[in-house]
Amino acid sequence: MRRNSIALLVSGVIVSFGLSSLLAQAQQKVSDAQVAAMVEALRLAAPQTGIANDGLYSEWQVKPETLKGWSKYCLKKELTPTQFENSPTKARQVISCITRREFNKQFLASNNNETAAVRGVGCWWMTGSYTGCNSGFTATYLQKVVGFYQQQRSKPATTP
């Protein structure tokens, strides 16, 4: 009887390690380099309206109502559009935080398919939805995002 209990305990430990390993693999996070490339791709692809005071802020062209929620989520305090616009460091910090959150979601949803995750984040960035960017302006925008992302990822890593 005692031998069966030990065998059962050992089996449980082995299964536990195996499951935690699988779970860790399934929840793989995107790297800092992937987030940085996505942030830069979103910046480079941001539509330029050509209109002064168009109501969009920073190099990423963010709406004021959006940046309030994002800054509260990422910085634990709301930034005004002026604060966001006037602080490229804070703007990049918020954009990186939100991009990481969304990229991780899409990376997991796409079974770690990097291109599919980039497409999902790019579509969400423009429309608020992860899908539906297959035609018109949003398809063109998404094509730019993916292209810029691939350019950024192909650059050699820089050391701080």
Give the residue, 137 or 22, on which the prediction is more confident.
137
pLDDT in the model for residue 17: 43
What Å distances lie between residue 92 and 12, 62, 114, 129, 135, CA to CA?
Answer: 46, 12, 22, 22, 29
DSSP run (H or E) holding 25: helix 2-26
CB 38: neighbour CB atoms within 10 A? 29
Contact 152, 40 (CB under 8 A): yes
Give the residue, 52 or 138, on which the prediction is more confident.
138
CB 148: neighbour CB atoms within 10 A? 20
For the question of whether the overall pTM of this predicted structure is more than 0.75, the answer is yes
pLDDT digits (tens, 9 = 90+) for 66-79: 999 999 999 999 99
Interatomic CA distance for residues 109 and 7, integer angstroms: 37
What Å distances lie between residue 17 and 8, 68, 112, CA to CA?
Answer: 14, 42, 22
Per-residue pLDDT band for 54 (boundaries 50, 70, 90) equals confident
pLDDT in the model for residue 156: 77
